Structure 1
Amino acid sequence: MILSNFRSWALDEAPASRSQATWGSAYRVWLSLRRNPLSMIGLAIILAFVALSLAAPLLAPYDPAAQDLGNRLAASSGAHWFGTDELGRDVLSRLLYGGRVTLGMVVAVVVLVAPIGLGIGCIAGYFGGAVDTALMRLTDIFLAFPRLILALAFVAAMKPGVESAILAIALTAWPPYARLARAETLTVRGSDFIAACRLTGASPWRIILRHVMPLCTPSLIVRVTLDMSSIIITAASLGFLGMGAQPPSPEWGAMIATAKRFIFDQWWVATVPGIAIFLVSLAFNFLGDGLRDVLDPKGR
C-alpha cells in the first residue's frame, strides 16, 4: 500500500511541489534503469561490496593484522577460506577490511573532485572571455600529464599514505569533469530561461548555482560513474607502488604488491584482491553505461 501510494504520488503528471517533482524524476530514472539487466548486476555487485566492507568487523573471521608465521602462505581451507598471506594473515579478513580503505578512498575522491570540476566548468562556461581562457588553460595543464604519473608526483611531494593518495588523485581527476560541465554550460547559457532569470535580477552566481549546475549534474553523474573504475585502479596502483595505504593497512593494491613474489606458487594471495578490484571496476562500468542511457538526452 505504501509503495503503491508513493508510486502514484511520484508519477503524478502535475506535481504540487518542487520536492514531488524531484522525487518523481528520480523515480522515473530508477524505473528506466531497472530495465537494464547489466546495470542492475553492476549495482548489486557494488552494494554487495559496500555492505561487506561496512560489516567487516562482524564478518571477518580474524584480525586483519594478526600474524601467524607458522601458517604462512597456507592454501584455502575451512579455517582460512581464501588462504593466508606471507605473514600468515587471513586473506579474507584483509579483503573485507581492505574494501573499507579502497572504496573509502574512491568515495572521498569523488566527493572532492565532482564539485570542483562542476564549479570550475560552470563558471568558465557561463562567464566566458578571460575567465574561461584562464580556467581552461589551467585544466589543459593538468590534462597534459597522465593521471597516475601526476598523482605519483603529488604523493612524492607530500607523505605516502591514504590522505595523500586521496588528495593526489583528486588533484588529477577533476579536469575531465570541468571540461564536461563547461560544454554543458555553453549549450544552456544562451537559453530563454537563463535570459528570463537575468531579467528578474538574478545574479550570475545565483543563476549558476540554481539553474546551470542542476542541468549539468546528470551528465556529470554519468561521467563520474564511468570514471569510478579508473579511480579505483589509480588508488590501487598507488598502493601497489607503496605510495598509498601503508602497511599493515589491508588495502587491495598494497595486498597485491606484497604478494607479487608469490604469484606463481601461492597465486591466491594476489588473485583474491585482484578479482575484487576487477569486479568492482566492472560493476561501475555496467552501472555507468546504464545511467548514460537513462540520463543522457543525446543517447535517447
Structure 2
Amino acid sequence: MTVPANQSAPMSRREWLLSDRPQSRRQARLGRAYVTWRQFTANRLAVVGLLIIIALLFVAAFANVLATHSPIVGDLKNARLLPPGSEGYWLGTDDQGRDIYSRLVYGARLTLLVVVLVAAISAPIGLIVGTVSGYAGGWVDATLMRITDIFLAFPKLVLALAFVAALGPGIQNAIIAIAITSWPPYARIARAETLTVRRSDYISAVKLMGASPLRIVVRHVMPLCLSSLIVRVTLDMAGIILTAAGLGFLGLGAQPPLPEWGAMIASGRRFILDQWWVAAMPGFAILIVSLGFNLLGDGLRDALDPKESGQ
C-alpha cells in the first residue's frame, strides 16, 4: 500500500526522538536524552556498573527483608567465628557471633548515606565556588582559587582525619569532614567550564537582554557545567567510599556496633590468617561497589562528552 504524495507516513517514536528538526523543547530534550542513553548502553562495562549500583540500591532499600539475622546482636556462645555456609550463616560470623552477610546488607545503607550526603554537600559548594570564580575573575577569582589550592595541597584522607579529629568520631562528623575535603576538584572543573563559555556569543546575548550577573551565573552558566560535574561526582564516589572506610577502619567513622564496612575490616584484621572471611567479605563488598561507581562514571563520561556524541 502506497502513501499519497500529499500525506506523509506517521513518524515512529524512534524517528521522532532522533529528528534533526525538533518541533518543541520537550522533543529536543527527550531526543538528546535518548541519544545519550544509546551511547551509554553501547558501553557494556558501563551497563555492568549501572547494574551494580542498582543492586546496591535494592539491597539498601530492602535490607530488613534480605537480612537473615540481626546485624548488631550475635550469638557469642554458639556462633563465634563460624566459616561461610555454617549453620545458616552464608558468609560466616565475626568474633561477636554476628552474621557477616546481614551486617553487609545493612552496611549498604550506611555506604549510600555517606555517598549521597557527601555528594549533596560538596558538589553544590564546588559548583558555586567554581562558577563565581570563573565568571567574576580578578581578585575574586584569585582569592577563591588560592583557598581551593590550600585544600588541594593536602591528601584527602589526611585532611579528613584532621577534621574528624577536631569534630570528634561519628558518622555525621565523618560525612562533614569528607564533604569539606571533596569540593575543591568540583570547583576547578566548574571554573574551567565557566571560562570557556564566559565570553561566548550566547552569554553576550543574555547580557544585552539586561540579565544580572547573578542570573547569568545561576540560569545560564551553572547548567552548562552540570554534565562535567555529574561525571566527576560519579567517578569520585568510589574515593568517597574508600575514605569513609578508611575513617571507619581507624575508628573515626561509624561507631560500633553499626555495621560499617571499614569498621568491619578493622575488627577482622586480628583474624586475617585463620578466619580470613571476617575481613575479606566487607573488603570484597567495598571492591565491588567501588568498581561499579568507576564503571558507571566512565560510561557517563563517554556518553556526556560532546566530542564523542558528535561523532
Distance 1:150 1:26, change over 3 A: same
2:82 to 52, 66, 74: 74
Look up the match of 2:32.
25
Q: How does 1:100-249 map to 2 (within 5 A)?
A: 100-249=109-258
Q: How does 1:270-285 map to 2 (within 5 A)?
A: 270-285=279-294
- Percent identical among aligned pairs is 61
Return 5+ residue gaps in structure 1 as ranges: none
1:46 to 53, 56, 64: 53
Separation in structure 1 between the aligned mates of residue 276 and residue 139 of structure 2, nearest angstrom: 56
Separation in structure 1 between the aligned mates of residue 44 and residue 119 of structure 2, nearest angstrom: 25
Separation in structure 2 between the aligned mates of residue 284 and residue 33 of structure 1, nearest angstrom: 14
Bigger-Rg structure (1/2): 2
Deviation per CA, 1:248-290, whole angstroms, max 9, x where unpaired?
0001111101111011110111111100100111111111111
Separation in structure 1 between the aligned mates of residue 24 and residue 275 of structure 2, nearest angstrom: 60
Look up the match of 1:294.
303
Distance 1:5 1:120, change over 3 A: farther
* Deviation (angstroms), 1:164: 0.3
Q: Which amino acid aligns with 1:160?
A: P
> 1:148–1:234: 8 Å Cα contact kept in structure 2?
yes
Return 5+ residue gaps in structure 2 as ranges: 1-10
Separation in structure 1 between the aligned mates of residue 25 and residue 171 of structure 2, nearest angstrom: 40
Q: Which amino acid aligns with 2:81?
A: L
Deviation per CA, 1:115-153, whole angstroms, max 9, x where unpaired?
111111000000100110110011011111110111011
Separation in structure 1 between the aligned mates of residue 126 and residue 43 of structure 2, nearest angstrom: 29
Aligned alpha-carbon RMSD (Å): 1.6
Greater mean alpha carbon deviation, residues 214-223 or residues 83-92? 214-223
1:36 to 40, 43, 49: 43
Q: Which SS does the other structure have where 1:134 is aligned?
A: helix
Q: TM (normalized to structure 2)?
A: 0.92
* Deviation (angstroms), 1:72: 0.5
* Deviation (angstroms), 1:14: 3.6
Separation in structure 2 between the aligned mates of residue 141 and residue 99 of structure 1, nearest angstrom: 33
Q: Which SS does the other structure have where 1:174 is aligned?
A: helix
Q: Which amino acid aligns with 1:76?
A: P
